[in-house]
Structure 1
Amino acid sequence: MSVAFIFPGQGTQSSGMLHHLLDHPAAIRTLDEISEALHFDVRDLDNERCLEFTDAVQLALFAAGVATARALIAEGVRPAAVAGLSVGAFAAAVTAGVLELRDGVELVSLRAKEMAKLYPTGYGLSAIVGLTECQVEAIVRAITSEQTPVFVGNINAPRQIVVAGSNPAMDRVLDEALRQGAGKAVRLHVSVPSHCPLLQPVADLLGKRISAMNLTAPQMTYVGNVNARAMRTKELVAHDLVNSIAHGVRWHDATTVLQELGCNLFFEMPPGHTLSDLANENLSGVNSVPVKAAVLSRVLRLAQQEEANT
């Protein structure tokens, strides 16, 4: 029985998210280090105006994840494995020791800016709840076209599927999903078509940049986005970080692998509770807890109990 750290992706951001982190020296020091790398205070990115922009959102999520993970580790919480959804994977890779913090900042900044530059308007993500992956794939195949492309993106749960693509095509997919019995079909607060072939140029740029970086073997198991496999070499982690932007994320499978590795206590880095809701609803025997300042004592107590039972 072990602990896993899980890191959320874009769409979970909220105003003030970096000002509501754990008041811990390790978290404060991490935010300061990220600010030095950026040449401005990363805390300035968590207001409503800035969070309308992809680069601010992704950097803020990255900062929140790494800062909180380092605070927990400083308090003696030792994860056996890490996994991050989308941009959360970069925070997971830094926490696992594969990437230096500055390199993580550089890659996240490059990734977000290039995504926004490639598709500044007219594209995004949508979520469909209540249909299976096969059902959504069939709808997408019937609607996608060269002029208005749409793709199956993330598989967050057996019946929670994210699609990515052009707004007109996504609108048609959502309408058809509701007609076929979806309980919910909505646009997400994400303005770029993440995790589909439209973003292969961004993956290519990331691949060139990460190949010049000094990577280190992971200090804990990293579970990937694209194939949801346990990864224990720096090469495999780098490949996953680069390629996930142009491929769908098999998040439910990734959390299933965490459970199969013996992790039954997940700590979700801030902000929000989306990943914990998914785990608690879809993985029997797993307890997933969002880490917030108000529940730090409970988080540490759960971690101590888990260690005692190991």
Structure 2
Amino acid sequence: MTRRVAFLFPGQGSQAVGMGADIYAASAAARRIFATADDALGFSLSDLCFSGPEETLRETINAQPAIVTVSLAFLAAFQEALSADSSSLSSPLAPAYVAGHSVGEWTALTVAGVLDVPQTIRAVRERGRLMDHEGTVCPGGMAAIIGMDAESLQAVCQEASRQASEGAERTHPGMGQVVIANYNAPGQIVISGEKRALALASELARTRGAKRVIPLAVSGAFHSPVMQPAAEHLAQVLADLPLHDALIPLISNISAAPLATADVLRDELAQQVAASVQWTRTIEYLASEGVTTFIEIGPGQALTGMIKRIVKGVTTANIGNVADIAKVVALVREISALS
């Protein structure tokens, strides 16, 4: 049965004040995750998740470890619901694959045994700090482009980058650059780049047939050349972390292929902040490998919606509150009975 199951974890933007409060109250396993995160950071991340304020939770340095912590707490509670004796993130239900969208990839690697929870939470907070810093050095942003194909949007980004770079002094790797950041689903693509280049690309997309251009509430141009200095600094952080080989194959955001060895994962995690997230290809790969049940674990339901647009005839479920856990436990037991 586990050959057909993948665990998926959401990224930044899924955070909301109050997330995780219900599972904290209901599950001892979830409380242990929150306590571990609080101890690792030296302040109450739990209180920030449960009570805000929203503007503080939304800050990249806080949002990223908060999302990872809440996702891990829901997974721990889910495994506990499957077996009261479980204190593991990967049993009794061990998925065939794990994957995460952007910072969700760090949640996935923790489940795969690459890092322990305190190491992950501290590293993710530093990741958020580095990314936020580049957003101040080279201001930029991101925008979701709805109803435009990838090839046309790629041409838009190239033209906007050319226009934005003309006569501009290249004082930063991201200056005058805009690229496709997230291939989320067919017709749902995110672009990212330096402020002027992003504005030019957004306007070009509108004139060339995009149904909607939606600016995203983020603090920088994530998954673009603007983040290249952050990638280089993050590589130094990762060099000092004792990564282990993955016990469960993790699907790369960059290549949409399975990764397992510590050295390859170390490079992936560094470069990922400046590279495009290949989410459509990730889901297509998992489906091609026989995955029929996709379980999104963490705040929000964004990934579940994307999956439904990418592949047909698969089962999707999400765990983002206490009630969801009972539903997904019932689903897993039904699948087990049928297999």
- Whether TM-score is above 0.5 comes out as yes
Structure 1 position 8 matched with structure 2 position 36 = no
Contact 1:3 1:303 in 2 (8 A): no
- Alignment-derived partner of residue 140 in structure 2: 123
User: For residues 1-310 of structure 1, what are the structure 2 equivalents within 5 Å?
Assistant: 2-21=4-23, 23-46=26-49, 47=52, 48-74=54-80, 75=82, 76-120=92-136, 122-144=139-161, 145-146=164-165, 147=168, 148-291=176-319, 292-310=321-339
TM-fit CA distance, 1:97 = 0.6
Question: In terms of mean alpha carbon deviation, does 63-72 or 20-29 score higher?
Answer: 20-29
Distance 1:232 1:303 in 2: 26
Contact 1:2 1:306 in 2 (8 A): no
Cα deviation, 1:239-272, whole Å, max 9, x if unaligned, reads: 2211111111101111112222222111112211
Distance 1:72 1:262 in 2: 23
Distance 2:275 2:193 in 1: 13
Distance 2:41 2:333 in 1: 36
Query: Match for 1:131: what amino acid?
Result: M
Contact 1:45 1:57 in 2 (8 A): no
Distance 1:308 1:221 in 2: 25
Contact 1:100 1:215 in 2 (8 A): no
Q: Which sections of structure 1, spanning at least 5 residues, go unmatched?
A: none
Query: Match for 1:119: what amino acid?
Result: G
CA 1:13/1:198 → structure 2, altered by over 3 Å: closer, same or farther? same
Contact 2:147 2:211 in 1 (8 A): yes
Instruction: Describe the SS at the equivalent of 1:263.
Output: coil
Query: Match for 2:217: what amino acid?
Result: H
Instruction: Describe the SS at the equivalent of 1:271.
Output: coil
Specify the structure having the higher radius of gyration (Cα).
Answer: 2
> How many equivalent pairs are there?
310
TM-fit CA distance, 1:78 = 2.4
Question: In terms of mean alpha carbon deviation, does 31-40 or 252-261 score higher?
Answer: 252-261
TM-fit CA distance, 1:77 = 2.8
Distance 1:283 1:271 in 2: 22
TM-fit CA distance, 1:309 = 3.7
Distance 1:72 1:238 in 2: 28
Distance 1:3 1:159 in 2: 26
Contact 2:139 2:221 in 1 (8 A): no
Instruction: Describe the SS at the equivalent of 2:21.
Output: coil
Q: TM-score, normalised by structure 2?
A: 0.87
Q: Which sections of structure 2, spanning at least 5 residues, go unmatched?
A: 83-91, 169-175
**Cα RMSD over matched residues?**
1.7
Distance 1:306 1:242 in 2: 37
Identity %: 29
Distance 2:9 2:334 in 1: 22
Question: In terms of mean alpha carbon deviation, does 106-115 or 45-54 score higher?
Answer: 45-54
